[in-house]
Copies of this chain bind each other. A is one copy, B any other.
Amino acid sequence: MALGVAGSNPVRRPLKIAIVGATGLVGRKILEVLEERLWKENPEIIPLASKRSEGKFVEFLGKKIEVIPIEYGIPNVDFAIFSAGSDVARTYAPLFVEKGAVVIDNSSAFRLDPNVPLVVPEVNPEEAFKHRGIISNPNCSTIQMVVFLKPLLSAFGIEEVFVATYQAVSGAGMRGIIALNEEEKGGIFDETPFPTRIYRNVIPQIGEFSEGYSTEEWKMIRETKKILKSDVKVYPTTVRVPVEIGHSEAITVILRSSPSLSDVYDVLEKQEGLKVLRDGFATPVDVEDKDFVVASRIRFSPENPRALSAWVVADNLRKGAATNAVQILQLLIGGLG
């Protein structure tokens, strides 16, 4: 793979941005977030997808733009935001890099590559500038967890993280939402991405199992260590629930010290991208279309002054995917607000 010079930032205006996987659920969300955050830049958007999407259009800042099959060639762009799965990323991301673009990839293809930064802008922004052409966007459940863990790690140290997730069907793309809708109507969706019924059910499998852990769980174990640059032990159980948008996480952290709850609030409330509720709680429905992570039900165990629990919720399509990718782009062009 030919990679560019570390930290090279495009400065050309107007920005040219390719969206690879533009017709997917996250692809469309990326266009939405780009409109909200980069409308002043008035970037030129080149929506790409597979041949199946030929003839489709997307909208950006009031203009209809035709979707181009990626098989037809690699355009010259400043940035390419990929949301098209690992295979497409492995095939096409290096081709964009060869042509001088910076790739921000939503798939897991390059996340654990030591030459590829894995970035959550509120957590490890400095990493983004070390890129050699590709920057990886972490897994959705990992992103929202590290926004909560980072300030705790810096202030108090973390030994262990016990986490159980409640993940929305939209994490499996449009087919996930269709499966839930069809099952609710009493039907069956042949292309369901789930291993069994999700309507009025919960499924403790996201991805495939290896050595007892699912792909999603391995992502949480490994990506967390890389982003936090810490050998923190992560004990995950990841579970699909019949929710449309918004992942929730029941987290218990074993800290290395035993601060007061008031100290914990002070530290968490200073964390960028994190909203802290001292009373009540947030549910998935509450965070839909929000770009921040919400931590609520923050409490110390009555049995252990180093065991801190919380309920952490975020919009998996926005902060868990599209927003985080666009924030990385903003970081590189110096425009992260």
Contact = CB atoms under 8 A, between A and B. Distances in A.
Contact of A248 (B204, B233, B283, B307): B204
Contacts of A252: 162, 235, 237
A302 B211 contact: yes
19 contacts: A162-B252, A164-B164, A164-B250, A197-B283, A200-B285, A201-B243, A201-B283, A202-B243, A202-B248, A202-B283, A203-B281, A204-B250, A234-B303, A235-B252, A235-B307, A237-B297, A239-B248, A239-B250, A241-B241
A202 B235 contact: no
A126 interface: no
A213 B248 contact: no
Interface in A197-218: 197, 200-205, 211-213
A16 to B, nearest CB: 38
B233 A303 contact: yes
A148 interface: no
Interface in A164-210: 164, 166, 184, 196-197, 200-205
Interface residues of A, number: 45
Given A200-B242, A200-B285, A241-B202, A221 B303 contact: yes
Interface string A219-253: 00100000000000111010101111000101010
Contacts of A303: 221, 233-235
Contacts of A323: none
A134 B29 CA distance: 58
A284 B243 contact: no
Interface in A34-55: none
A248 B201 CA distance: 10
Given A164-B164, A200-B244, A311 B212 contact: no
Interface in A278-321: 281, 283-285, 296-304, 307, 309, 311
A285 B283 CA distance: 24
A222 to B, nearest CB: 10
B250 A285 contact: no
A159 to B, nearest CB: 10
